[in-house]
Structure 1
């Protein structure tokens, strides 16, 4: 089965992949919003998405390490790695403490900030060209670039909100 979805939130994407597994569909491949699934027993797998520090490292070492933990590397798209584990083997959570989750969200923020700056520069250049020329097509591209920049900004805000929630939880747990 082929499905198309755009996710900007790795947590929501993980929930959706688990829901697909509960419906009897195992995630197989990903590319630019297209997900390929194959039939499986309902609820057979739990999924996690990891974000690598860089995409040039030794991927075979990472995959071997995950395999030793009973985790299968399903696919990788740039720095995003899709992982699954048999549900029968118990719960599957890559980052279990607040500090490691905070670090993960900081990595994601830093990654997206680069693209946010690039998109903002492109947006203002396109906006300037559209205003100067009055060209309708340039105006359409300006709107598209603005929408992309807002989507990226939303990712940064969501991750920052999650960091703040984790810090708040950590502080309140530590005060008892």
Structure 2
């Protein structure tokens, strides 16, 4: 008998990892178990027995030497490594009804997870800023500004600006999430 698979697209922002975990758990209870996750919210599931599975996400940049220790630590605690998407690690563990299973047992650990992500995004922000400077300050000659090439260039600038504003929004929301978790620590 061939196992069926299902591909779904669903978007989650980086600070919505708990909502993503809950959704993946609901899918498992419906008999669809995560087998792969790709960029832009593309999830692949395989059909199986409906069971209660807890999914947890961790943001951990890849470091080949440390990754094996990281992987072993979670596996020793009974977690199954499902995969990764853009440094987000997906873990799952079967759970009894009502049982709460966490990979982060305190708010400070969650703060560190979001700080790792914010640090990476901050570095990328600087790179995008440098690229953007070239894009916005290299305006071309007066004749090029109103030609087909100039109009296309303006469209690219507008798209870049919108994406840049979304990027800033994501960083602010992550900083607010960190602040919210820090209040739980105190």
| TM value normalised by structure 2 | 0.78
State the 1:114 CA deviation: 1.2
- The 8 Å contact of residues 54 and 93 in structure 2, kept in 1 or not, is answered as yes
Q: Quick check: 1:48 aligned with 2:53?
A: no
Q: Quick check: 1:8 aligned with 2:21?
A: no
- The 8 Å contact of residues 130 and 142 in structure 1, kept in 2 or not, is answered as no
| 1: CA distance, partners of 2:71 / 2:184 | 32
2:28 match: 21
Which of the numbers 120, 125, 134 marks the counterpart of 2:134? 125
For these two proteins, the number of residue pairs brought into alignment is 171
User: Closer, same or farther in 2 for the Cα pair 1:122/1:68, shift >3 Å?
Assistant: same
Deviation track 1:113-152 (CA, whole Å, cap 9, x = no partner) reads: 1112222232332233457542222222222322332232
2:160 match: 145
User: Closer, same or farther in 2 for the Cα pair 1:97/1:31, shift >3 Å?
Assistant: same
| 1: CA distance, partners of 2:11 / 2:123 | 20
| 1: CA distance, partners of 2:174 / 2:121 | 10
Matches within 5 A, 1:41-120: 41-88=49-96, 90-120=99-129
Q: Secondary structure at the match of 2:56?
A: strand
- The 8 Å contact of residues 112 and 155 in structure 1, kept in 2 or not, is answered as no
| 1: CA distance, partners of 2:66 / 2:136 | 42
| TM value normalised by structure 1 | 0.82
State the 1:97 CA deviation: 1.0
- After TM superposition, where is structure 1 displaced by more than 6 Å over at least 4 residues in a row? none
Larger radius of gyration: 2
- The 8 Å contact of residues 119 and 148 in structure 1, kept in 2 or not, is answered as no
Q: Secondary structure at the match of 2:96?
A: helix
Tell me, which stretches of 5 or more residues in structure 1 are unaligned?
172-176
| 2: CA distance, partners of 1:111 / 1:15 | 25
2:43 match: 35
